[in-house]
Structure 1
């Protein structure tokens, strides 16, 4: 007998395999298979082969989106459409305020989550609570359909403050140096927040305790401790961290800049001259300027008033000399520079004037200036010694030699000698240097001068020879014998007598020069001693 074939046998055999897979699925939690809707069997919900796989929804929440004036003791309440996995849903929840997370405790009542904050919700700004769909899921492991994000506020005022006005205004110029700084806000501000946060650059040195706060904490008047600096651009910064009275921060930082003063033109030197020679040498830079006297002051005129204190560091002279600066006019545009000691005759000095000089609005001098000047003015000449003469005619032959011992006429007058001793007239003729090391043609200064007799020192000393046989050598009283024809009127020539000169002895006759020697009424001096030697 042959075997009978049933065409549906294969189908019947496959049914137990399907039931086996289905039975296995029922042995696992859905969350394990789906792994938060992103697992290896996430295709299964779409096949609707599992019970209750519709995603849970939020049916109720409190506070609601945008609520203001919320009671600070409020709890966060969220009701879901299905019974939820407590652990996963709690981990999906967060509450924050201005970036700070708020801790608290969870409670459940059936499908309702209650979050009790650990502290009252009374801080300024927005509170935000979030339940993330990637973590929150039902008991059957189906994730929440959408994220829940709710923001609310304890305060009913959520508007952010802003600066509505400043005095000076932003980009203002011609601001007076004694100005106050006024900042006006569009709503009442937290005074401590404003005072502790405002800053200025460069530092205006605000006296914060003296700030005048008016108009219900909307107007702040700041007082600098000292005047602002001319020509300076100040920047005032009010950062976004500044808060209003209910705690709302500014939306953005506010910066205000202004310039003190309205004069931006640099001053310049308009004239430089010597006190004894009123000639403007402004254009004589780098040339050696002659004619300055050793006691002269410089007269400096500027195109506009400048600060006196700025001149002290801006003026230098080489070789170095100490000086003082005097303001010559009320405006402050003219000054004298006077040296503490007379300058050296024939010395060339370099006067420099730098851009450290500033006008009243702190504009610097337009350029550096440099001048060279020589001390050789009308009464600044060195005293020279023309010579010692044996007679008042001052003729060449009667002038005593300086390079050899004078022993004979006409340098010496031997007719006055006795058998043992001689007496010699001495005519001491001074003059003024012409700048080349020689006597000026007229011998005198252009202004005339007087050599002080009290400063004239003439000495005689026996250098060689035996003991004196009679009286001891001496110099008689000195008198002025300047010729009347010397003009301008001066005192340049003196007469004295060298007496008791032993015949055969050598004598040194010296006229004192240097700092302790001959001087005139202008303080001019002779550089060094002048001396001759005689032997009868």
Structure 2
């Protein structure tokens, strides 16, 4: 029995010794940290969480004044290391203390990361700066408890930040500061309101530890996304103020017409893509109002007269027809030829039939053109587009007259010609190319040609 008790006690003793040894090893594998770093009047002071390897820590240490590295002596006191520069600590100087992660404690554990501290020994007149924010200004936020973080150029007075920060509309929040008060996170304690614009303002009441104020106020603007279904309230044709009807056909649309639409709520950036589709495919542009609720749709190219286009807006169908009276293309109604003005009858020319021209200095050629009642054809545009080709007749233009024909949608152009006939049979080609246009920009839909025979 005594042997059993003795064995049991021995086992417990071994377990306790092993546990103590394991615990000691666990403690000795902990990464050393810098508890405090300061710049005193004549030296720097670093305090560690554990006894350090003096030699390796001193090798990992450096202190620079402006851009010059300083030499000096080290003094250790337990976990504290002081460095005394030979030239001392000067006033109105910038100092940078660096400690590389090659520094080790007495158990061989390296510093977790390179560390660096900056000090200024003069009076601090530099105002604090807001160096970065997250989310960035004018972001759209879908998380109704999205935090907003600020990173500062230096340590700031956290009480002054609380006084300087204003959130509109009002929002309950708490502040979470990083060590050193160089970063803060504004964490909402209640949900944002969907579809609302929020403004975060930091006023010039923000101060650093030297009581320097922020130079100018800083504002952030955030839009809170809404989960309401996006709907089209109206879509109106600008030229006639006609409202397009779903699954209906809207006529008398002009080739360069504009559509004005209104949605039931603000649209977000990820909803704009695919909002509108047009078939047949035609390029268009969308311009939005400041609230991103009303839009203007304009076509980047003219619609084709007489053609129907299907507009799919939020997958709802609206059909428009380009048949507006301002968009009627030019066309040739008829062409007449007279060999001798006042002495010979006019003859309407027909494709491949006889022209019947002879030598004359009073021949006339008349075109009757169809066009928009609001458009005017200029002589220069006509002459640029007009041409005559023949190997058996020569033509010399004497004059050109343009006058309105009886219908408001027609114009008559009379060309006076000097004609010389070679006496040989052949053909004559009269042409107008599609550069011919009226004052509204309507042109021939294609090049026009009339070929006739000269006996």
Change (3 A) 1:101 1:230: farther
Q: How does 1:227-306 map to 2 (within 5 A)?
A: 261=224, 263-284=226-247, 287-306=248-267
Asked if 1 retains the 8 angstrom alpha-carbon contact of 2:352 and 2:453, the reply is no
TM-score, normalised to structure 1, is 0.44
Asked if 2 retains the 8 angstrom alpha-carbon contact of 1:275 and 1:298, the reply is yes
Which residue of 1 is the match for residue 402 of structure 2? 480
TM-score, normalised to structure 2, is 0.51
Confirm or deny that 1:346 pairs with 2:302: no
Which residue of 1 is the match for residue 23 of structure 2? 102
Q: Name the one with the larger strand percent.
A: 2
Gaps of at least 5 residues in structure 1 are 1-44, 46-51, 57-82, 105-116, 120-176, 179-199, 233-259, 354-366, 433-444, 466-471
Asked if 1 retains the 8 angstrom alpha-carbon contact of 2:249 and 2:318, the reply is yes
Q: Output the CA distance in 1 between the equivalents of 2:235 and 2:450.
A: 44
Q: Output the CA distance in 2 between the equivalents of 1:496 and 1:532.
A: 18
For 1:244-268, what per-residue CA distance to the aligned partner results, in whole angstroms no more than 9, with x for missing partners?
A: xxxxxxxxxxxxxxxx959542231
Paired residue secondary structure (1:504) = coil
How far has the Cα of 1:308 moved from its partner? 7.6
Change (3 A) 1:230 1:498: farther
Compute the RMSD of aligned alpha carbons. Answer: 4.8
Q: Output the CA distance in 2 between the equivalents of 1:348 and 1:404.
A: 37
Asked if 1 retains the 8 angstrom alpha-carbon contact of 2:148 and 2:186, the reply is yes
Q: How does 1:127-138 map to 2 (within 5 A)?
A: none
Q: Output the CA distance in 2 between the equivalents of 1:402 and 1:103.
A: 111
Gaps of at least 5 residues in structure 2 are 29-135, 138-142, 160-173, 178-183, 196-222
Q: Output the CA distance in 1 between the equivalents of 2:13 and 2:19.
A: 15
Q: How does 1:361-510 map to 2 (within 5 A)?
A: 367-390=314-337, 398-407=347-356, 421=360, 423-432=362-371, 445=372, 447-457=373-383, 458-464=386-392, 472-483=394-405, 485-487=406-408, 492-502=411-421, 504-505=423-424, 506-510=426-430
Which residue of 2 is the match for residue 34 of structure 1? none
Asked if 2 retains the 8 angstrom alpha-carbon contact of 1:449 and 1:491, the reply is no
Pick from 299, 309, 315 the counterpart of residue 276 of structure 2.
315
For 1:490-526, what per-residue CA distance to the aligned partner results, in whole angstroms no more than 9, with x for missing partners?
A: 5611101232231634452423122x2x211111111
How far has the Cα of 1:456 moved from its partner? 0.7
Change (3 A) 1:262 1:474: closer
Change (3 A) 1:306 1:460: same
Change (3 A) 1:283 1:299: same
Confirm or deny that 1:528 pairs with 2:447: yes
Q: Say which one has the larger Rg.
A: 1
Paired residue secondary structure (1:477) = strand
Paired residue secondary structure (2:321) = strand
How many residue pairs match? The answer is 289
Paired residue secondary structure (1:455) = helix
